[in-house]
Structure 1
Amino acid sequence: MEMVVLVGISRRALDSLIHSPRKTLELRSARNIEALSHVKTGDRVFLTYDTFHDVTKGTGGIIAEVLHVESMEQRLPWEESDEREVMVCRVQLRLRGLGKVVELERKDGVIRALVREMLPHEMAMG
């Protein structure tokens, strides 16, 4: 199945999604915000710990269904940054399984990948 890839997701967030099958993540990366602009409710996305340039055939990650996406600006304390606002996307996800990238295309800073869902016996082998 082809899906948009969300990259550089922390291990803590990935583990949390596995242990709590419905989870809201707050993403700030410009790449992930752009990627989320290409999805709608009901689409599936692929989340991986790997960075944009490290995603290749064979990259593993989590397959999740998008339940809700919300974009917003957050104000920053002036002492912490040269900017006063940062764009944030909150995405509510439902765990659908684990997968591996079979093919991928990078276009305009977004990765679209053909992902094969792993079968239960493959997950047990790691």
Structure 2
Amino acid sequence: MEAVILAGIARRVLDELLRNPYRTIELRSARNVLAIEEAMEEALRLFLTYDPLEDVSTGTEGLLAELIEARELETRVPWEESDEREITVCRAKVKLVGLGRVVEVERRDGILVARVRELFPQEMSMG
């Protein structure tokens, strides 16, 4: 199956999603926000991984999730903390589908899309 890659997801978020299959995650990385937009347009699943985007390749393991809904919010940033005044935050409600391993990675319009093979729990080596 094809899935849009969300990379650099915190380990605690992945663990919480394994314990409770429904979760709202907050994304601030511009790449992940754009990936959510692509997943909404193309009705693709999500592949969430702890690995940074540069390290995602064949064999990368993570979680497969279905995107239930997403919305973007504009948030003001105190001027002392950033050179920008606003950031875009995306809140995405997801449902865990299962475990997965990347078979192939393809770049589409600046977004990474992976062909993912679903795994059985005993196949997973992710710590």
TM-score, normalised by the number of residues in structure 1: 0.92
Once the two structures are superposed, the pairs formed by residues 27-46 of structure 1 within 5 Å of their partners are 27-40=27-40, 43-46=44-47
1:82 aligns with 2:93: no
Q: Which moved more, 1:105-114 or 1:24-33?
A: 105-114
Quick one: distance in 2 between partners of 1:40 and 1:105?
Answer: 18
Which structure 2 residues correspond to residues 29-68 of structure 1 after superposition, within 5 A?
A: 29-40=29-40, 43-68=44-69
Q: Offset of 1:2 from its aligned partner?
A: 0.6
- Letter of the 1:9 partner, please give it: I
Comparing 104-113 and 56-65, the one that deviates more: 104-113
SS at match of 2:40: coil
* Structure 2 match to 1:19: 19
1:5 correspondence with 2:5? yes
Percent of residue pairs identical: 53
Consecutive unaligned residues in structure 2, runs of 5 or more: none
**Number of matched pairs:** 125
How much is the aligned-residue C-alpha RMSD, in angstroms?
1.6
Report the Cα offset of residue 120 of structure 1: 3.8
- Tell me the CA shift for residue 44 of structure 1: 1.4
Deviation beyond 4 Å, 4+ runs, structure 1? none
Aligned-pair CA distance for 1:121:
3.6
TM-score (norm 2): 0.91
CA deviation profile, 1:11-57 (whole Å, cap 9, x unmatched): 01111111121000000001101111101286411000111110010
Unaligned runs of 5+ in 1: none
User: In structure 1, how many angstroms separate the alpha carbons of the residues matched to 2:117 and 2:29?
Assistant: 25
| In structure 2, C-alpha distance between the alignment counterparts of 1:99 and 1:8, rounded to whole Å | 16
The amino acid of 2:15's aligned partner reads D
Q: Does 1:93 align with 2:94?
A: yes
Q: Residues 40 and 107 of structure 1: is their aligned pair in 2 closer, same or farther, counting only changes over 3 Å?
A: closer
3-state secondary structure, aligned to 1:39: helix
